[in-house]
Chain A
Amino acid sequence: MTQLLFISISYAVPLLLTALGGMFSERSGIVNIGLEGMMTFGAFVAALCVHQFELSVWVSLIVATLSTGVFALLFAFITVTLKSDQIIAGTALNAVALAAGLYIANILTGSTEIETKATRVPMIGEIHYTTIISVLILLAAWYYMFQTVKGLRLRSVGENPQAADSMGINVYRTQYKGVIISGLLAGLAGAIVVTSIVSKFDGLAINGRGFIALAILIFGRWHPLGILFASLFFAFTQTLGVVGSITTTHIGFIDHFLRSTPKEFFRMIPYIFTIIALIFSARGNYAPKAAGQPYDKGKR
């Protein structure tokens, strides 16, 4: 049972970080479907660093984080500067990240799989160091977003870019910042996935984690605290989907439930819950109002 909890926590970390990244992007008005691709990119770079260049795990995490931040510039350029549709741009980013990862992996290593077994994030007891770091990032994100003037400005851009612009806030720069932060965090998250959860980068390393993070962002109502709880909850169901049928709690009815419920059911939970949450919150005021609409200065 405690094992289950620790696995859940390690599953929650990348989801939490990516969803926090998504919060920065969406709070600045850019809907980020490309989180999946950003995670994939981070995972790929990290795997390449540890396997091909034999860098230490910390250096690899930093390199992956920064390079995904640069990769996110592409998304920012398309959505902010070119003002293209954000959903299409995100879909394209996902496709580009996965194709590029597998292609470059194949060119450099001769295989589309990059082993990362040898280099793992060190642990204190049952907790990864990265878990502690991500809690610090969570606190920092909350502080920045809700306790600083810069955070207030970023949020105002996502709510009403026209008003923000008229108050002298540089909307485009703020949105670039939001998207780049989302890239940094999603890249770190992807890197953590391949160095603490799965043992190789391949086409299935991220496998929808970016979309679950998107779900968490919505389920957690674009707020760090909500995101924290949602990611723990979704990670728990994800864990049950993987190891639920071999977990023993010694509590009769729970064990029976775990044995008799198909693992596919647990895997569906995050998605179904998110849809339900969307139904209840569709008329609410949780989503940043201007998210999804490209800001055009000329139309002020």
Chain B
Amino acid sequence: MNTSKGFILPFLISVAVGILLSMIIIALSGYNPIHAMTGLFITTFTNKNATLNMGYVIIGMAPIILTGLSVAFAFKTGLFNIGAEGQFLMGSLFAVSAAIFDFGVPRFIHVPIILFAAFLGGALWGLIPGLLKAYFKVNEVVVTIMLNYVALEVLKFTASTYLTEGDNSTSTRLFQETSSLRANHLVNIFGAQSMNIGIYVAIISLVLFYVVLYKTRLGFELRAVGFNNEAARYSGMSVNKSIIISMFISGGLAGLGGAIYFLGLKNSMDIPSSFINLGYTGITIALLGGVASTGILLSSLLISVITIGKANMTAVQFSTGDVVNLPTQIADIMVAMLLLVVAMQIGYRLLHKVQSSKKKPIDKEPPKQPKENEDSTTVTGVV
């Protein structure tokens, strides 16, 4: 079945409603919403920094595609992984450790080691709620929230104790030269010095996400458990095994995101004092994208554009002679509005209304569940 059909209409409706709400908020706070939106979506890609901005959008997409995939993968098995943030941080801790350590190997071996370490770090952190869910029936939502905070403290302690040069340093030792994720051909195209291989890692993960879930026996079992775990159990599948595997892979994907984020931009890690929030953004990405691979790609593109282009919303205000800036927090407002729209399931609701109003009035039969829900899971269907 084609996964890209079920989500696209709800996605477009959600995005439209989310942007409309944001525009209303911009108007209410005394700014011109049309200017803000043209600034965001047009100026960003037409001004003299256009190619540079495209580069930054691509850089920004990589980690959130991965955290989005992380949330989506667990979702497919009926698990709500709010812990992508923690797994992201644990992955970054493993990756940074591997990047600092001198293996004495060339770059084409060192980088895979780092990525493997990142996957492992996130996966092990994701394994905890997986095991607890499988063997003790502990709800994964609360455990993953709690583990996010534990991960943050573990990262802060480990990095500041073992990975720094001096006592009071807020950043780690420099990464090995061989650990660089820099992609020179991309730097040449876009001009942004921090262009890195992250986007390739993300795209490969995106393809693997689709292939594993839809073209393999394992993926079939994972989805079957997510769709109806009683039925899956009855037909001889191991629900516990599926939960554990799903959380392991889900955590690993978020961990990869952490590696890309911290190693792609700088040559040492600024030890975070609070959450990076890209794991939480993954929830928005996964849900907005209808938990489908193409949807995740599109929603991460949208959110990356909002994050990168937010400065241009204020630039346009300048050009109209308006001195007061639209605060850059408008980007957070827009992302929050998109999540709110998804939480209200406005996309599916409106679509459903349109579909049922097309039917003849005498048709009193309850409207059938749209078939595409099997693939692009509706939000309530799984949790």
Contacts and interface: CB of A to CB of B under 8 A. Distances in A.
A253 B287 CA distance: 51
B142 A214 contact: yes
Interface in A240-299: 262, 264-265, 267-268, 271-272, 274-275, 278-279, 282-283, 294
B150 A89 contact: no
A118 interface: no
A85 B343 contact: yes
B174 to A, nearest CB: 24
Given A103-B333, A274-B146, A84 B138 contact: no
B379 A103 contact: no
A294 B343 CA distance: 13
Nearest to A75: B343
Nearest to B132: A279
Interface in A92-127: 92, 95-96, 98-100, 102-104, 106-107, 112
Contacts of A89: 343-344
Given A83-B380, A91-B280, A99 B332 contact: yes
Nearest 8 CB-CB pairs, A to B? A106-B327, A99-B332, A92-B343, A271-B146, A264-B157, A95-B336, A103-B329, A264-B153
Given A84-B343, A211-B145, A278-B136, 8 more contacts: A87-B82, A88-B339, A92-B336, A95-B340, A112-B329, A215-B142, A275-B132, A275-B147
27 contacts: A82-B345, A84-B344, A87-B82, A88-B342, A88-B379, A92-B339, A95-B332, A96-B336, A96-B337, A99-B329, A103-B327, A103-B329, A103-B333, A107-B29, A112-B327, A208-B149, A214-B145, A218-B142, A264-B153, A265-B157, A268-B150, A268-B153, A271-B149, A274-B142, A275-B132, A275-B138, A282-B137
Given A95-B336, A275-B146, A207 B274 contact: yes
A218 B145 CA distance: 13
B156 A278 contact: no
Contacts of A88: 283, 287, 339, 342-343, 379, 383
Given A271-B147, A279-B132, A85 B383 contact: yes
A102 B329 CA distance: 7
Nearest to A108: B29
Interface string B153-166: 11011000100000
A51 B25 CA distance: 23
Contacts, number: 135
A70 interface: no
B336 A84 contact: no
A3 B325 CA distance: 45
A112 B340 CA distance: 22
Nearest to B379: A85
A83 to B, nearest CB: 7
Interface residues on B, range: 35 or more
Contact of B136 (A84, A279, A294): A279
Interface in A25-43: 31, 33
Nearest to B146: A271
Contacts of A139: none
Contacts of B137: 282-283
A83 B139 CA distance: 20
Contacts of A78: 343-344
B175 interface: no
Contacts of B383: 85, 87-88
A248 B329 CA distance: 42
Contacts of A218: 142
A91 B279 CA distance: 12
A282 B138 contact: yes
Given A95-B335, A99-B329, A214-B145, A85 B153 contact: no
A140 interface: no
A264 B336 contact: no
Most chain B C-beta atoms within 10 Å of own C-beta, residue among A279, A283, A294: A279
Nearest to B137: A282
B330 A103 contact: yes
Contacts of B337: 96
A294 B379 CA distance: 13
B332 to A, nearest CB: 4
A204 interface: yes
A91 B337 CA distance: 12
B80 interface: yes
Contacts of A264: 153-154, 156-157
A265 B161 CA distance: 13
Contact of B146 (A98, A204, A215): A215
A262 B344 contact: no
A276 to B, nearest CB: 10
Nearest to B30: A107
Nearest to B129: A275
B143 interface: yes
Interface in B106-151: 132, 136-139, 141-143, 145-147, 149-150
B179 interface: no
A33 B153 contact: no
A3 to B, nearest CB: 24
A111 B336 CA distance: 20
Contacts of B345: 82, 84
Given A83-B380, A91-B283, A214-B142, A100 B153 contact: no
Nearest to A203: B274
Contacts of A214: 142, 145
Contact of B274 (A82, A112, A204): A204
Nearest to B31: A107
Contacts of A271: 146-147, 149-150
B152 to A, nearest CB: 9
A251 B379 CA distance: 55
B284 interface: yes
Interface string B1-37: 0000000000000000000000001000110000000
